[in-house]
Structure 1
């Protein structure tokens, strides 16, 4: 990444549009960084060293060069930021904590100098990392010795100015900020922009030392792991650091130090075994020109292999992509860690079959089929009342006159409380089944969100089914005391149980008045023939049994015949009326269930698909490369 023009504290405006500049006692203008670079160049040309002040050894001027906004990393960070924003309402804070940290650190790193590459030197106690640090710096900056732990705080060495912001981010004290010793290492053009940080031992007995190692390793651009022939296979190193950071192979150096202690070909054998362990850790090795971790052996004490490492570091620093690659690997690791909460097994969702089954269960719970059958029976009963013979109606009245008043007009008991409870449980079961179907295969948090949406919407579903059933004009409803209700509750009616209340009378076909008139005529014939016969019997009328008997017989036979004809004629309309009643109640139940359960569940699934698309965007950048 190309750095933008650097701006120093000295390059501030005087208020008149010209930068500040102070004249030295020797007559030369000192405008800060530019003057010091000029002095350093003159000193190099003269074969000497640049003049340095004591303050320059510890304090770096603030020089900020911002990372350009172009390239694939910014859109990937934007996608991750959108993903976190969309997920805050569904995922707990701990799950998103690492993603938030990566975004914050990426923003902080991009605000700082892209001309500098911060490399940490890490290792175990006695691995010789401080010796290697001094060898790279060309001066005994970090203490070495037999006392353990030797390094207690991070020590930084910066080859160029402008790294103060980066070192502030690492919390390296000003007294522990150094510059390389004047010499070939200090003026190596390849190392210009390098900030080397010597860390405490990662296996130190002091807990605060290990905490500092973990903190700094999360912030640096790259790391040099220094191992020795005795601890290169240490489980603490591999399990705690190398294996979790396997995705950061491109910004990782693994150096086998102290090869001077190994006789003959032992160093090659140990190095091969180290490569094998790194391969088992999942770390890609940068061999044959492939990207991956750099693995090599050297002796920091004798200097064998140190120039080769310095050359590798120089090319790495001059590439100016370490910060980007580190952030890229951080996003990769975060995406891999978040995969279980975003990637579903199979194709979750609500299909037409699941929706239809949910509607069927609600219709069963609300008693839609029973309501249709009751409506059909009511139509038939009305036909029987209107077209039936008076003697049959009298007999039915006689049969029903001794039944308790708790029976409705259809002669069936209202739904008992236990049946209402059973039907309410059927509604809950229907909601639970559709929620499980919709959540099947979803990651845990999203499956829970889908179930919560379904169960929240199901609150009051039974009551809502009652109201919508009444509005749909389902039979079995009536107005009592100025209010409309369903006795027993539509949602509380078990299958096969009637809808209570006073059923509304079904509409009558146009031919019913004629049927009633015919039945009345048959009844009048029976009465007329009967009276005629009685009059003959008592002697009021002249004898003649044939005519009145025929008239009476015509009425007796014609009445049932009219009733049977009406029953046959109303069979089709009664069935259609019952089906229409069932359909209305079924549609009412389906609409209520859709509004209260299916729509909230579908909204949660849409939210999941949206975050899944953002997650796919984050991972697609990883597969398409930098």
Structure 2
């Protein structure tokens, strides 16, 4: 049956494994090396019996490790003496017959494997005890063996003596870095038989103080933590208490999982800076809207709308004005060149004439596009850990490549639409106020949260938006009926003027009779009514022209937004979603759920 510690450990290891896999493209190999080692060691330990408990006895030269090892085994299994160092290789003693696989993993040679006196002490069933070399040994390789085995065993008994219990090497190199392993740590003050009176209690209290300064939680008053004991391995005083504590510890059958949990806790704590952000990073609606507004400004959506409005009004004036006004405008156009060709300084290819009005051939402002991308990248990466902030900025930078050129294509397509729309009488302003300069600059389209990679056809997406707008307004692209009515009225007035002129000429030569004021009334009435009718047409054209301009601006704004989303916003959001996924795995691995 899996222990509660094992049940909690399994999802954390799975999350840590997933975390490492998702982070390889963002974090350097050195940052993830420790997590990889923990996963490898966990997998190796789980291949062996988790109900066995491997405990190492570690300490400095002369602390009495081997003597304590023999006292716990109740046999002379490890050489102990005054020669230093005495223990040249790790020695094991197993209260089980199933420890061979574990000892092979630990690298304990067969000649160093011992058995306790039979029958086995039932209180220590399942315990595998190791006597390690001195961690401060002058012999080459001893400290390397100690460091290697301390990373593999399930628990450690640190043996100190009254003279060296405050040794800086012990505390700074081992106890302080291993403070997170308090629940699988025993600290034993040996050789208390050398102390007189209450000196043992004073030394033990000072040892507890030092351990507390090291950050090692002490298991007192029923709280989990390191067990601190005083004994004499030589006389046997206190050894029974340690044997009982080890028996209870081994009987829980979860020491290996507790050790692995401490490993995961440690690596999660050290990886925290790479995954935990300050605050709640991400793109706000304001940042997204600001980006779209900047792109609309860069592509000249408002200016294009104003130009479209002027072109519509100009075309309405040409269609509904008096015949003499239309003749004058025709002469002006002939002087400037036909619509769609350069004229009046447009030889540089920077202007197009729409109904006689020069309309600039707009290109997206490069500085504004760059500023929009930088602002978006800054907002999206604010508060993110360094590697993920860099990934967001790189995604925005990749999307910015070619964005200005794509916006140029969209602006050119919008200009062509404006020319065609104005020449055809313009579209009716159905919904033209939305998203325009007078409509509050609202959002354009719905936001896609499932972002993908940078779309190389982003400019095609923008042009498709314009085409959909044209299809939606295809039925409204014909000349308004009132244009025809006014044009018919102007033609009628022209006919009246011509009739009056002919009558007047006939009266002058005596061919036609009648009152003298008759032809004059026709001529004056027709000449006076035509401008009034044209003025009424211009007045009536203001609303539709404004609607056409707003619709042009809205479509250009929407097309630029579609292009910006496909090229920049969606890749940035994809990186943010990847970070959130990794962050969720980190929370599980760190045990914060």
User: Which TM-score applies when normalising by structure 2?
Assistant: 0.78
CA distance in 1, matches of 2:185, 2:407: 64
Shift of 1:529: 6.1
CA distance in 2, matches of 1:214, 1:345: 36
The yes-or-no answer on 1:515 pairing with 2:486 is yes
SS at match of 1:118: strand
State the partner residue of 1:109: 45
Shift of 1:619: 4.1
1:115–1:360 Cα change, 3 Å? closer
**From 108, 112, 116, the counterpart of 1:172:** 108
Contact 2:305 2:551 in 1 (8 A): yes
1:398–1:473 Cα change, 3 Å? closer
State the partner residue of 2:464: none
State the partner residue of 2:417: 475
The yes-or-no answer on 1:373 pairing with 2:306 is yes
State the partner residue of 2:468: none
CA distance in 2, matches of 1:174, 1:277: 38
Show CA shifts across 1:221-254 (max 9, x none): 1001112333323333223322232221111001
My pick for the range that moved more, 555-564 or 217-226, is 555-564
State the partner residue of 1:615: 586
Shift of 1:585: 1.4
1:546–1:284 Cα change, 3 Å? same
Show CA shifts across 1:483-521 (max 9, x none): xxxxxx999xxxxxxxxxxxx997521222332333344
The yes-or-no answer on 1:196 pairing with 2:129 is yes
**From 222, 227, 244, the counterpart of 2:155:** 222
Matches within 5 A, 1:573-584: 573-584=544-555
State the partner residue of 2:203: 270
Contact 2:5 2:254 in 1 (8 A): no
State the partner residue of 2:535: 564
Matches within 5 A, 1:132-531: 132-145=68-81, 147-180=83-116, 182=117, 187-205=120-138, 208-388=141-321, 389-390=325-326, 392-393=328-329, 396-397=332-333, 400=336, 403-406=344-347, 407-409=351-353, 412=358, 414=360, 420=363, 423-467=365-409, 475-476=417-418, 507-523=478-494
SS at match of 1:442: coil
SS at match of 1:264: coil
Show CA shifts across 1:251-306 (max 9, x none): 10011223334343222122112212222222221112222100112233343322
SS at match of 2:58: strand
SS at match of 1:409: strand
Contact 1:473 1:584 in 2 (8 A): no
CA distance in 1, matches of 2:5, 2:223: 28
Show CA shifts across 1:41-82 (max 9, x none): xxxxxxxxxxxxxxxxxxxxxxxxxx9997433344333333
State the partner residue of 2:444: none
1:235–1:524 Cα change, 3 Å? farther
State the partner residue of 2:19: 83
The yes-or-no answer on 1:594 pairing with 2:565 is yes
CA distance in 2, matches of 1:197, 1:220: 9
SS at match of 1:316: helix
Q: Identify, as 1 or 2, the structure richer in helix.
A: 2
Show CA shifts across 1:527-574 (max 9, x none): 666787789999999999855554443344333322211110111111
Contact 1:465 1:592 in 2 (8 A): yes
Show CA shifts across 1:341-391 (max 9, x none): 333332223333222222212212222112211111110111222233146
State the partner residue of 1:483: none
Shift of 1:458: 3.4
1:70–1:477 Cα change, 3 Å? farther
Shift of 1:476: 4.3
Contact 1:155 1:198 in 2 (8 A): yes
CA distance in 1, matches of 2:173, 2:420: 74
CA distance in 1, matches of 2:183, 2:281: 37
The yes-or-no answer on 1:92 pairing with 2:28 is yes
1:306–1:528 Cα change, 3 Å? same
1:597–1:397 Cα change, 3 Å? closer
**For structure 1, which runs of at least 5 residues remain unmatched after alignment?**
3-66, 480-488, 492-503
1:412–1:213 Cα change, 3 Å? farther
Shift of 1:147: 4.9
Contact 1:375 1:475 in 2 (8 A): no
CA distance in 2, matches of 1:405, 1:445: 50
The yes-or-no answer on 1:606 pairing with 2:540 is no
CA distance in 2, matches of 1:404, 1:114: 87
Contact 1:474 1:581 in 2 (8 A): no
Shift of 1:587: 1.6
SS at match of 1:282: coil
Shift of 1:219: 0.7
Contact 1:342 1:612 in 2 (8 A): yes
User: Which TM-score applies when normalising by structure 1?
Assistant: 0.74
My pick for the range that moved more, 92-101 or 271-280, is 92-101
CA distance in 1, matches of 2:5, 2:242: 32
CA distance in 2, matches of 1:251, 1:404: 86
CA distance in 2, matches of 1:403, 1:325: 85
1:565–1:318 Cα change, 3 Å? same
Contact 1:515 1:562 in 2 (8 A): yes
Q: RMSD over aligned Cα, in angstroms?
A: 3.7
